Structure 1
Amino acid sequence: MSQNGTVAALRIAAISFVSAIAFAVPQAAMALSCDDIMSLVEHGVPEGVVVNTVKTSGTLFTADEVRCLADRGAPAAVVSTAKGMSSQEDPGAAAPVPVEKVEPQGSELDVEDEFESRAKAGAARELSDGEEQAGREPPKLKEAVAQYQAKKPLAASLMLFELLESEKYPEYEPKINYYLGRSLEMLEMFHTAQHHYMQVVRRPESQYFAYALPKMVKISRITGNDIELKRVVAKIPPDAYPPRAKSDLFYLLGVKAYGKDDLSRASKYFGQVAQNSPYYLKAEYYRGVIYNQQGKLKSAVRSFRDVFRQEMEVANDPRAIAEVSELKQLALLNIARIYYGIERYDESANYYNLVDHDSPHWPEALFELGWANFMQNNLNNTLGQLLTVRSGFFSESEWIPEAHVLRSL
């Protein structure tokens, strides 16, 4: 492909990204990141189109994202629009421009009974990833799939988008959306890919349902955004969960049940998260919190110990590494506090001492350790810990005024 042709294709792919959002159902609008917006700008999408895309996305931008847009040279109108939709602002102040509501093909997600029956039917027809639908299909669709399989996602995404835009093949839309999602994922346009996977999940009788759902799970891990999954997970019966996504979906069900204060159901869901799942430590930590709330202290300590002792293989991802470290330190604090609460101060002190000195929770652990030693009449240790807490080593944000109370005792 010539340089001009490549630029033109990139421009069309970027516009397909805009169109995918512009014609999406408002309730399923995807959050935009600074990278997504700058991708549109850098591909030459007109400023007015970018502004309208930002407005209709419904995204609440953080101050860092607004700053990112400004630093990377986004047009002033785009930066101003994002700033007006800042999460620090009143959401009502940045109402999205009304767009025509397009009803999705097939059942709506709020028709739960029908959705469940169709989800079971779709899961029962799970096929190998590359298997084609039976019957005749548009030659252009076959060609697009061939382009994707040849690792030419840009060409494939353009052809697939044109097929969707033509609205001539509604019976093939699940397949078109699925491979469009795969192509966009290969191009690292994750939010847009997730939008197309959602269109497949909206039609659970499709043979591609069992593949689109794990892809949504995978993207939620990459982006840290599981909003779309939370919207759909409760509508799908657990026996229809694809094997590759079971643990992730059970975790989300547990979070949803915990948010509704349904502790028993939440604990049941968290207990079904596999140990090799990236969500296992989070699920087990939740179980520890639930057991503690229920007064089941032995079970709570067992869960928190499991979080601390479990070795997890974490990819070279700073966010994942930080999350695991945070969970382990919080688990230690919780065990120490449980033992303190039942007056087993020596064991409480042992767990406070295990909190890493590099942890942001160390000042708090040190102060509470002082109380545990005080209750054992280890006054020299208590004084030493208080002097450390009050030293200049800690910043003002880590200052603990209650230390004066313990010192006075």
Structure 2
Amino acid sequence: MRSFRLIRLAVLGLALVWTAPSYAQSFEGLDLGGQSKSKKKKKGATSKSAKGSKSAKGKKKTGRGKAAPAAVEAPEEESIASPAPVEAAPSAITAPAAATPAATTSTPATPPPAPTPAAPPAQENAGGFGLDLTQQEAPKAPAPTMSFDAVDVSGKTADRQRLDVAVSLFKNDEYEKASMAAHELLADPKLAGLHTEARYVLAKSLYRMGMYHSSLGEFSKILSLGPSTKFFKTSLEWLFFISRKTKNETVILDEIARHANQEFPEKYRNEFRYLLARYHFVRGRALDQVGQTADADKSFAEVKRLTLLIPKTDLFYPRARYLDGIASFRNGSRQKDAASKRGNGEMLASVEAMKEVVRLTRPVAGKSADQAKADKSLRELAFMQLARTHYGMQQNRYALFYLGKVERGNTQWLESLFESSWANYRVGQYEQALGNLITLSSPFFREEYFPEALILKAVIYYENCRYRESNIILQDFERTYLPVHDQLEGLVKKDMEASAYYSVLADVQKKNKEGLEKNDTDLILERILRLALTDQDLRKTNDSILELEGEMDAFASRGDTFKYSELSKQLLEELKVQRLSLISKAGIMAKGKLETELVALKQLLANGLRIKFETTTKEKEFLEEQLKAGGRTAIVKKYRFSVAVADDQLYWPYEGEYWRDELGTYQYTLTKGCIDRDSANRNVQSAEAL
């Protein structure tokens, strides 16, 4: 009986020994993927093996391996603007805190085929939970994870973090630091895969810093990589932003023209068409100046084609219509006589285009301040072009009507006064013509360049048989403009490099800016400068050069870290290259303008000599007739004149003084002459009545 009991105990012991591993094996074989529901219940357990934390640590490595692809992928533009931190990727993959309870035996267990490499919690959160696998053969389980880690991602995660730091600085408005961080990435040739994104961050940072020319240079480098580049389209969009910030939109025309065959975003497509039309317009005018008419015709044809693509409802349509009208005027101006011009289809098309611009730019409520200012300027230009078109067709009263629409004190006002003087002369309104010339000769506009005004004044006195006054005016003209002619001729004959012509003008600008004392030669060169800057394209290019130089000077006001950085040195060198390019372009324009004005001034001086000869001849004939008549012949007679003015005006005699509020209202009264006239001070007939 006793032996039977011992046998029973032995069998029971063997059964216990046999069944103990079976429980552990069955537990390990559980599907742990669905244990998240019991997480909270098991989290409260306190009897866990301390060695289990090593298992959790091993699984954390597996989790980090799974997060690696997200860091290697190149983010979209939006992710560069607001990137997700790479460090947060591993912690995003969570696992139950008690996914693996402690084993009750040290017997190694065979790892199941279940997907146990799910990412565990961080080590500090493990709390000692998990299996003790330190003495086990189980490291074979993470083998698939190790094969994933074998992918070559060495250094890329850290490099991506460096780029994210630059982006973060940009988002925090720390643009100087962001630009320097991006430049450090660009300086490392091993990070070529991140260079495009880094340059994009650098270009945007420079834009935010107000360094528009530097920003343009960086965007141009991105665009030069071609349309397959990730940030190609967005960089094209940034060109339009820069064009709105710079004083002269033409600085980006060359860049836009290089990518004319690319598909621009829909919202910028019409602006692109307008800017490209501007590019061809400027190019066509330059080709006309050098006598390449055939190539100029192609450029102006492209202007008309591009402007027709812009719909009437678009914001850029009025400006495009203006370019279209100018192109038509250029084509129609080839007609020799006024009658042919009046019947030419291109001239008529130009008139209709400018009238439409005037209608579209009427001041209405709801426009922004910038838009209203731009429309006002464009409206003035349209009035001036309408006047010139009608003047060329000898429709002088129409010309006077449109010149009268230019508001006093605006940009085109002085030019409109001068041109209306010629139109008034044509219709015999000498008093109004001479009154306008009084305004132009006032001390307020002493530095303006209107040499032809004195010739017109001499012609008016000549036609009224006021020969002595005419000679005095011609002498004044020669005394003023003959030195200008000589200095201008000397500059042109030097045949210098194009940039040297601009340097001469730049020196004059510098002396004016610094208030330095100027000698007689400097005063003459100052007149030449103002003469050259009457060309709009040259003036805009000059503005761009001054703006670029201001950007270069602004480096001195930056923080020391940025000011003395390698980035600043590189940007300054690139700005110098841009400046030299603009100076070369401005020099070519300046040389062409100076040559054109030299020819015009020669012509004016020749006309002055002819008028002087005719005046002397007429004066001689007048004296001979008086001698024959015994001094009783009077060629110069008194005119009938009136000082009556409209009810809303006040007559005030001019006694040599100038008041700013009186400019533009002068009317010179001719009291004597040799022309038979019914009355003086004739009013201009309204063009609406014609």
**Which TM-score tier does this pair reach, normalised by the shorter chain?**
0.5 to 0.7
For residues 170-319 of structure 1, the aligned pairs below 5 Å read 170-203=192-225, 204-224=227-247, 229-258=252-281, 259-260=283-284, 261=296, 262-273=299-310, 281-295=318-332, 296-311=346-361, 313=367, 315=369
Q: Deviations over 1:300-340 (max 9, x none)?
A: 112223333433856559xx94x755543332122112223
Distance 1:128 1:272 in 2: 32
Provide the TM-score with structure 2 as the length reference. 0.36
Contact 1:164 1:173 (8 Å CA) reproduced: yes
Unaligned runs of 5+ in 1: 1-126
For residues 370-389 of structure 1, the aligned pairs below 5 Å read 370-373=421-424, 375-376=426-427, 379=428, 381-389=429-437
1:272–1:163 Cα change, 3 Å: same
Distance 1:128 1:339 in 2: 56
Q: 1:205 offset after TM fit, Å? A: 0.9
Q: Does 1:139 align with 2:161?
A: yes
Distance 1:386 1:176 in 2: 64
Q: 1:225 offset after TM fit, Å? A: 5.2
Distance 2:229 2:411 in 1: 48
1:292–1:154 Cα change, 3 Å: same
Distance 2:325 2:166 in 1: 49
SS of residue matched to 1:130: helix
Contact 1:254 1:266 (8 Å CA) reproduced: yes
Match of 2:386 among 331, 335, 341: 335
Q: Deviations over 1:27-63 (max 9, x none)?
A: xxxxxxxxxxxxxxxxxxxxxxxxxxxxxxxxxxxxx
Q: 1:351 offset after TM fit, Å? A: 0.7
SS of residue matched to 2:241: helix
Contact 1:248 1:277 (8 Å CA) reproduced: no
RMSD over equivalenced CA pairs, Å? 3.6
Aligned equivalent of 2:579: none
Match of 1:158 among 180, 192, 201: 180
Q: Deviations over 1:325-378 (max 9, x none)?
A: 5543332122112223334333222112112221354344334434445555xx
SS of residue matched to 2:187: helix
Q: What one-letter code is carried by the residue in structure 2 that aligns with 1:302?
A: E
Contact 2:422 2:433 (8 Å CA) reproduced: no
For residues 343-358 of structure 1, the aligned pairs below 5 Å read 343-358=394-409
Unaligned runs of 5+ in 2: 1-74, 85-152, 285-295, 333-345, 464-690
Aligned equivalent of 2:494: none
Q: Does 1:405 align with 2:459?
A: yes
Distance 2:251 2:215 in 1: 12
Distance 1:225 1:349 in 2: 31
Q: Deviations over 1:234-276 (max 9, x none)?
A: 3324451123433343233223323141211122223445678
Distance 1:225 1:353 in 2: 29
Provide the TM-score with structure 1 as the length reference. 0.57
SS of residue matched to 1:178: helix
Distance 2:397 2:317 in 1: 30
The percentage of aligned residue pairs carrying the same residue is: 21
Contact 1:333 1:351 (8 Å CA) reproduced: yes
1:167–1:226 Cα change, 3 Å: farther
